[in-house]
Amino acid sequence: MTRSVWLKADSEVGDWETRKRRITAGIEAGVDWVLVDEEDVDRASELGEINIAAFTNGDVHVMEAEAEDSGADATIVGKDGEGDGTVDLPSDFSGSADLSTLRQNGAAPDGGYVRIFDEDYEAFAEAVAAEADFTIVIGENWQIIPLENLIARVGEETDLIAGVRTAEDARTAYETLEIGADGVLLDTDDLDEIRKTVEVRDEMGRESLDLEYAEVTAIEQTGSADRVCIDTGSLMEHDEGMLVGSMARGLFFVHAETAESPYVASRPFRVNAGAVHAYVRTPDGGTKYLSELQSGDEVQIVDADGHTREAIVGRAKIEKRPMFRVQAETEDGDRIETLLQNAETIKVHTRDGRTAVTNLEPGDEIFIYHEDTATHFGERIEESIIEK
């Protein structure tokens, strides 16, 4: 599931300057959507590239006349209507103006907005979800229980967006019932909270890998080869690196060049990844040949605990360098290998921590990621392939 962050920026949050600051902060932090009033669509779009959802008054005739002029990526019904309690809910939802609007052909809104005051509004939100692409729910007296109920009942009928005020609230919404909301609508002016919420969104979509140790069975100097340094647009921490190797089923953990040395300055944006033929793991769980990498591609960064994140390649630098062939054997007897540059600055992860490849010896245990699948054009497949 791809999670999203929406940012509330309608008239309820303040005057236009307040809304403008909030929208600008959201764009800079990387939110997916801003939710504004219809009259703010044009000036919100001038602030930067962002998906814009706009509250509509729900008047079907007005919507039909203005549908092509709105400029919004999505329209939302419910504000100043039944959804937010301005208009009383009908006892029979078949008489609901909001639901009637959602059911219109052509100019119907894309979503509904419901503040959940009690069980009747929870039921109304469920009815909205059956008609809308997006269902935004704001918990009033209760937050978790109504969200749990809606997640259980709505399924994949709609993108369920939960109202939150903090990044921790967002985490709870994403994790509720181990399924979570599809997105959150964040209501805050706190720039740090906006940024943290985006970080939570990114974290929720990332893999956590089970790394394991394999025993080094051979390490030998070879001739020179075309070696690739991956320079990313991100700074890496001391325990981070990338997964690279000659065989897609078994990738070696190679540290970023974060360590200072008497002879070479640290390059915390760089992983000296190996020869051009080798694979590097990508954020989608696939692989790419090192020779194919170019500026703008994404690669996966991993730390020693198996946490992952993505990074953009800024440059792939290829130079001819002397190499080591490193071979290791997994616990179940699979032999994997790779070529790494013969240099003290290239560090792998062993039982003793960061270890220069020049200090590796047979019998050392080295960190790897192993999976019993082959790849075809970087995609995992169930196929018998022999790699030597």
Written as one string, the DSSP assignment of 250-286 is: EEEEEE-B----SSS--BTTEEEEEETT-EEE-TTS-
Q: Which of 174, 180, 179, 181 is nearest to 202 (CA)?
A: 174
**Which helix (DSSP H) or strand (DSSP E) does residue 371 occupy?**
none
- Lowest mean pLDDT: which of 36-50, 51-65, 241-255, 273-287? 51-65
Q: Which has more confidence, 67 or 243? A: 243
Q: Are residues 362 and 253 part of one domain?
A: yes
Q: Are residues 375 and 341 part of one domain?
A: yes
- Lowest mean pLDDT: which of 46-55, 190-199, 255-264, 288-297? 255-264
Q: Is residue 63 very low, low, confident or very high in pLDDT (cuts 50, 70, 90)?
A: very low
Last residue of a domain, one of 172, 205, 238: 205
Q: Are residues 137 and 23 part of one domain?
A: yes
Q: Is residue 55 part of a domain?
A: yes
Q: Is residue 387 part of a domain?
A: no
8 A C-beta contact, residue 326 and residue 355 = no
Q: Are residues 30 and 174 part of one domain?
A: yes
Average model confidence (pLDDT) across the chain: 91
Q: Is residue 380 very low, low, confident or very high in pLDDT (cuts 50, 70, 90)?
A: low
Q: Is residue 382 very low, low, confident or very high in pLDDT (cuts 50, 70, 90)?
A: low
What's the pTM? 0.77
Q: What is the pLDDT of residue 145?
A: 87
Length of the chain: 388
User: CATH code at 97?
Assistant: 3.20.20.70
Q: What is the pLDDT of residue 177?
A: 83
Q: Is residue 109 very low, low, confident or very high in pLDDT (cuts 50, 70, 90)?
A: confident
What percentage of residues in the chain have a pLDDT greater than 90? 79
In angstroms, rounded to a whole number, what is the distance separating the alpha carbons of residues 314 and 211? 27
Q: Is residue 385 part of a domain?
A: no
Does residue 49 surpass a pLDDT of 50?
Answer: yes
Vertex 212 angle, CA 210 and 213, to 5°: 170
Does residue 360 surpass a pLDDT of 90?
Answer: yes
Q: What is the pLDDT of residues 150-188, one digit of tens each?
A: 999 887 889 999 999 999 999 999 998 888 999 999 999
Last residue of a domain, one of 189, 205, 221: 205
Q: Is residue 195 part of a domain?
A: yes
User: CATH code at 278?
Assistant: 2.170.16
Q: Are residues 78 and 54 part of one domain?
A: yes
Mean pLDDT across 253-269:
90
In this structure, the strands spanning 365-370 and 250-255 are: antiparallel
Mean pLDDT across 202-209:
88
Q: Are residues 30 and 138 part of one domain?
A: yes
Q: Is residue 154 part of a domain?
A: yes
Q: Are residues 226 and 197 part of one domain?
A: no
Q: Which has more confidence, 386 or 221? A: 221
Number of domains in the chain: 2
Q: Are residues 163 and 94 part of one domain?
A: yes
8 A C-beta contact, residue 349 and residue 364 = no
Q: Is residue 111 part of a domain?
A: yes
Domain of 367? 212-380
Q: What is the pLDDT of residue 69?
A: 56
Q: Are residues 362 and 266 part of one domain?
A: yes
Q: Is residue 204 very low, low, confident or very high in pLDDT (cuts 50, 70, 90)?
A: confident
Q: Are residues 243 and 286 part of one domain?
A: yes
Task: Using alpha carbons, list the distances in angstroms from residue 95 to 57, 98, 99, 114, 129.
Answer: 17, 9, 8, 16, 17
Q: What is the pLDDT of residue 207?
A: 87
Helix segments in 67-216, DSSP class H? 97-102, 119-129, 144-154, 167-175, 191-204
Token look-up 């300055």 returns: 265
Other C-beta atoms closer than 10 Å to the C-beta of 309 total 18
Mean pLDDT across 284-309:
96
Q: Which has more confidence, 204 or 323? A: 323
- Lowest mean pLDDT: which of 239-253, 334-348, 374-388? 374-388
Mean pLDDT across 129-152:
89
Mean pLDDT across 55-77:
68
Q: Are residues 86 and 125 part of one domain?
A: yes
Q: Is residue 260 part of a domain?
A: yes
Q: Are residues 139 and 236 part of one domain?
A: no
8 A C-beta contact, residue 33 and residue 4 = yes
- Lowest mean pLDDT: which of 2-6, 68-72, 222-226, 237-241? 68-72
Q: Is residue 95 part of a domain?
A: yes
**Which helix (DSSP H) or strand (DSSP E) does residue 24 occupy?**
helix 16-29
Task: Using alpha carbons, list the distances in angstroms from residue 315 to 79, 288, 290, 297, 353.
Answer: 48, 15, 11, 9, 28
Last residue of a domain, one of 205, 223, 243: 205
Q: Is residue 65 very low, low, confident or very high in pLDDT (cuts 50, 70, 90)?
A: very low
**Which helix (DSSP H) or strand (DSSP E) does residue 337 occupy?**
strand 335-341
Does residue 283 surpass a pLDDT of 50?
Answer: yes
Mean pLDDT across 124-137:
95
